[in-house]
Chain A
Amino acid sequence: MKSWQRLSGIVALLVVLLGLCIWYGSLAPAPAVGAYPGGSDIATGSNQYVGSFVSVTGTVESTDPVQIIIETKAGLLRLTIHGVSENATVGDKLHVFGELRGGHAIEAENTVRVRSSGLWYTYAISLLGGLVVLARLIRDWTVDTDNWTLRPRNSECTLCSLYDWLSGFR
């Protein structure tokens, strides 16, 4: 496979990936399959989802009553949450599943609180995981500058050489 063919293939696949992202973004909520309306749906759907079950995640802004701020496609949205089972404190991340009431309020059926320190831990340990993989990739694989591909270190691409040799006869 020549470099331009490989590059064309990668670009084509990236276009497919972009298409999937646009397609998914255009999907409306479908509670029947578990795709519940989220913050952006509530913000842009006026009162369309009042009486429906919604699933949102936001930052706790106040605790009496519990109010959370959600970043949505239409900007920031403030929601009042009733029936919170957790001892939420300001700054925590709160996951809420419940019925949307009028006046931007949710009657919570289930809530999960995540401390902000927990999120920093997740980011830090994830970064470590990414660095481990990157280090191993650099240690074990190398760029073959003849055809701009990756190949294992200390290996000879005899098959690739054969393919290239044969393709020369086409």
Chain B
Amino acid sequence: MFTLRLVERVPMTDLFAHVCLAYVVGGLISLRVDWLDARYVTVVLVGAVIPELVKIELLVEARVISNLLIVPFSWEPLQTLGGVVVSLCIGGLVVCRCEQRRVLPLLALGAATHIFLDYLLLSVSGRSFAVFWPFTRYHPPTPGLYLSTDILPTIVASLLAMMVWILTSHVD
């Protein structure tokens, strides 16, 4: 049941690139917003991890859950708009009330950077995933810039993150 398989069922950019891009966005905003310090940049990074929860498929296959519950099942909603919004709300309930107004938008920002990077991925059918489900099931055409196993996006995102880190350290 809990086996890590060498299978790429859900094409996604590697998580490190996602985290770096979220750091770039969070870091740049922190230059303009006084209260947004390193602790809140971390919240943006956590937001960028949320759509990655779809990778639970690698540990527990959807068909295992399907057999257990005797109903059709898919993990894919975890990376669509509907699933991400519900996950964000769970994140909002985990933090104390006085932080919710700051944390929720930052989590959403991080998740948005994740979905954007995944949308750019090369798809063999030329179509991305159902980004806006359950509002629409439309799979938008993808520009197909890279594969999830390509190293270039990670290098570019890492370099940008390093530049932002130097910039924010200098400003501090």
Q: Which residues of A contact B (CB under 8 A)?
A: 1, 6, 9-10, 13-14, 16-17, 20-27, 30, 33-36, 53, 55, 57, 59, 71, 73, 93, 95-97, 110-112, 114-116, 118-123, 125-130, 132-133, 136-137, 139-141, 144, 147, 149-153, 157-160, 163
Determine which residue in A57, A120, A141 has the highest number of CB atoms from chain B within 10 A of its CB, and name it. Answer: A141
A110 touches which of B80, B94, B124 (Cβ 8 Å): B124
Contacts of B127 in A (CB 8 A): 34, 36
Give B contacts to A, CB under 8 Å.
4-9, 14-20, 38-40, 42, 45-46, 48-49, 52, 55, 62-63, 65-66, 69, 71-78, 80, 82-83, 86-87, 89-90, 93-99, 122, 124-128, 130, 133-134, 136-141, 147-149, 151, 154
- Shortest distance from the beta carbon of A22 to any chain B beta carbon, whole Å: 5
Cβ contacts under 8 Å, B9 to chain A:
57
Which B residues touch A159, using CB under 8 A?
A: 97-98
Indicate if the CB atoms of A35 and B130 lie closer than 8 Å: yes
Contact A1 B42 (CB under 8 A): no
**Nearest opposing residue in chain A for B96, CB measure:** A149
